[in-house]
Chains A and B, each alone.
Chain A
């Protein structure tokens, strides 16, 4: 008997309801449209957190469900941010240049305007010419397409090269990490055409929009919530269908899936590229809220943190990824923002700004060793789901296979 998608996945409905409720509460409490209990900067933090949850969902799809520990998805996230940042920066600079040139007696020619924009944007790296990669930056539609296309194509090419030569397990992880490092180092150069380590800035100002940041921050919160909802729905649909069964099979026992006649490489490539695109969209929503993007954001460590979030939340379950990302990134903001109270020990005062990373690192080790289910395991306690008894054996022989404790009956 065919049951409906929602009936098979009641968690999707619960998740969407929670997300909608959250968005509504934040809107009511915000400065822009509500009573003003939550400051605009905190609304931005919440909006950014939603984007991080979305990229965590993508990470869960590629790691938790396909078994590929990609240490490169934050690079796709950053690339998406760069792509939208190019349009934001170009268009805003254009408005400023046009405004300043209209003060002169002779109206400006189009080439003078473009030269002016180039000077404004690239003056900081000692150049004034537009590099080739900025060719579409004057068009919002084309640049939005680039948000998906550039990371998508990069993921496609890289994935094709990597999967084709049967690089798996930790080797693939290290290779993706190397790709991320290469991309970050490339962007750090001044002549990469993306302003080197200055990055793109002023992204929080939407060109042509006169509304205050109080309102804009809410628009982005809504957009991020919508994107997260859609992304979650799409991911849930993917993993509950036939494609989902195949990729879970690949995660646990790749060789067996291959012998059953499935083209393992194609499946991996599709999921890898698809998740890269989701990550890029998340990035395109994140960086206008952050206001600035620079190559340090793409550094390999960011991608590892992404894996940490998913692991702490509980991999192999989509809501786990969302919980992990939201919990760890908000906690991290709280601790590193200096809001957490110091603990005086008499001989030494623990300042959380200094000790938070130590705590995170060690608690992460503890989660890996003692609670492989992560925070998602708490949900299992509520729903009284149990792990299968496989006498300590993993679900499959592959590196990415779920452990006995991680799986559910």
Chain B
């Protein structure tokens, strides 16, 4: 958007007229509504309207727009749509409507009466050019802003937001007072502040508006302020020129502004000869080979930089090539120039205020980003917790290494997918899929425990390898059944969208749902382990199977049910994970190492440890991602290295079991 430039006579005229128009408009608003007819005004400016041009029509449009005539809007719209016709006989303007090829039906603006049908030869169509139409459109904004239809007012505001301009400020201001809708009024006031910052003529008003808006987190505020403080690099001989808004003087040779950068700027500005790059030197040498020699040096010897420089210097002495620019030359050239940055905005007061406001805003944005990061980390932690909670039972409580745990998560997700194929309603299908996933993976877990794991209870390493065998078999089986492409598991509609706190902080509903689900799982786990018969028996069997057996507990049955429970929970977690991740046969692979890490870091055998482990890993990973946002791979790498080091200091995890429960 072009700012006013003092040298442009055309625009400066416009500004003056603008103020006249504004004053007129205000007077109209204070006076009682006038029922002035539009035709006399049109006749007053008959010549200008009939032969409209961008240079002269501005004041006329303003007078029409501010006339207070109820027909002004209709007239302007008709004009812009090229539907206004002038009767040649008396120069009056009418709405023209084509009746047949030769004649037009004219309607009077003020009375709305049909004047009659006239042949085309008696009429002149008014065809404003695109420049004039743009001005009419701007004038129409004030009508749209005061339109009785709230939707139209909203549209007008949106269009101003999208394409702000200096001419829109006055009509916007005029429309605020009479705005009945409080939401729209707030929007208008906010937009007025932003337009004031950008386009008001009065520096004080702009500074005041900037101060009003400082601390506002909206992206639009930053978008308004940033162009004001945009800097351009400049260079001048002697001292800084007057009349420019200098942001800072720059000293070549600092980290931010190297000597090479400074010299490059000189070259771009045509104030110094260009440096001879090694490529230039090479082609210059190649162009000057004479009888196998360049500058007296044999070509074969030109394989070092020193020899090339010597040859080039010889050529330069002979005047065949431009002289090499030495570092001393560079320094001399730099010393005789001043380098500085200027603001595009000429007023120093405004730029200072804008810089301060941006600082305040950035501080606030930073705080909010931290909050956003914490929310992200919480949601990642709950995903890890969800993936690991089944493992907290099978590995944490029972001590069984189940490498196929990830495949149980995958089976849960695929169950969800299959259920969605049968039940198209997303809400209902998720409600059905959750117990289905539990049932499927519970059955798979029980089968695995009965067939494989119970033979290997005292052999954890063999368990690891055997369950790994099951894991690759299940993965390949899933690939054979469902193919390699990702299958969608669609979340219900009410989980779409996000909870938006402000322009910086937002969290999607699906993440909130997963967080809640993680909490529910935690509750379920605690309830089963501490409050049910199965939990009691499980704890007894884990601590001392022989003693438990002699107390009448069937260790085989308890182990089977516990393992099934852990697997079933993994299945439900699979449904939840499938909602935001693509369901593939490798889904489980992505979580298995992280899940084991979560359990190990947290402390085996303690659900609170798993929670702490998930929280630590989640926060740590998000923290690293924040330091290096483009690289999630690096975040995972450093996280694992961190865990390896962490285990050095707390080999039994964050919350270590003590005494007999620790098992040794």
Contact = CB atoms under 8 A, between A and B. Distances in A.
Contacts of B470: 361-362, 365
Contacts of A361: 468-474, 476
A211 B634 CA distance: 42
B479 interface: yes
Contact of B460 (A110, A169, A369): A169
Contacts of B461: 69, 169-170, 173, 399-400
A23 to B, nearest CB: 32
B651 interface: yes
A358 interface: yes
A107 B302 contact: yes
Interface stretch (A29-37, A157-165, A269-277): A157-165
A281 to B, nearest CB: 25
Contacts of A368: 456, 462, 465-466, 469
A296 interface: no
B472 to A, nearest CB: 4
Nearest to A366: B469
Contacts of B643: 178
A108 B473 contact: no
Contact of A177 (B473, B593, B637, B645): B593
Interface string B290-307: 000010000111111100
Interface stretch (A185-193, A214-222, A226-234, A282-290): A185-193
Contacts of A178: 593, 596-597, 640, 643-644
Interface in A180-218: 181-182, 185-186, 188-189, 191
Contacts of B401: 170, 173-174
Nearest to B448: A365
Contacts of B651: 165-167, 171
Contact of A188 (B466, B474, B476, B633): B633
A162 B646 CA distance: 11
Interface string B443-466: 000000000100110111110111
B interface, size bucket: 35 or more
Contacts of A182: 636-637, 640-641, 644
Residue from the set A169, A311, A358 with the largest chain B CB neighbour count within 10 Å: A358
Contacts of B20: none
A113 to B, nearest CB: 9
Given A158-B644, A357-B473, A104 B480 contact: no
B159 interface: no
Interface stretch (B93-101, B116-124, B125-133, B281-289): B281-289
Contacts of B308: 106, 109
Interface in A70-129: 104-112
A364 B471 CA distance: 11
Interface in B397-433: 401, 403
Contacts of B636: 181-182, 185
B631 interface: yes
| Interface majority SS (helix, strand, loop, mixed), chain A | helix
B475 interface: yes
Contacts of A186: 633-634, 637
B655 to A, nearest CB: 16
Interface in B618-634: 631, 633-634
B634 A189 contact: yes
B465 A364 contact: yes
Contacts of B277: none
A360 interface: yes
B464 A358 contact: no
A interface, size bucket: 35 or more
Contacts of A105: 286, 289, 299
A177 B304 CA distance: 50
Residue from the set A110, A111, A169, A175 with the largest chain B CB neighbour count within 10 Å: A175
A354 interface: yes
A351 B593 CA distance: 31
A112 to B, nearest CB: 8
B612 interface: no
B647 interface: yes
Interface string A336-372: 0000000000000000001111101111110011001
B477 interface: yes
Contacts of B476: 354-358, 361
B183 interface: no
Nearest to A400: B461
B469 A165 contact: no
A354 B480 CA distance: 6
A179 B459 CA distance: 23
B620 to A, nearest CB: 13
B469 A69 contact: no
A112 B301 CA distance: 15
Interface string B577-615: 000000000000100010011001000000000000000
30 contacts: A69-B465, A105-B286, A106-B285, A110-B304, A111-B305, A158-B644, A161-B644, A165-B647, A169-B461, A170-B461, A173-B401, A174-B596, A178-B596, A178-B643, A179-B644, A182-B641, A188-B633, A189-B637, A301-B589, A308-B465, A311-B465, A354-B476, A354-B479, A358-B472, A361-B476, A365-B469, A368-B462, A369-B456, A394-B458, A403-B459
Given A364-B469, A365-B470, 10 more contacts: A162-B644, A171-B600, A188-B633, A189-B631, A307-B465, A357-B472, A358-B476, A360-B473, A361-B470, A399-B459
The 5 closest A-B pairs by CB, nearest first: A361-B473, A364-B469, A182-B640, A357-B476, A107-B303
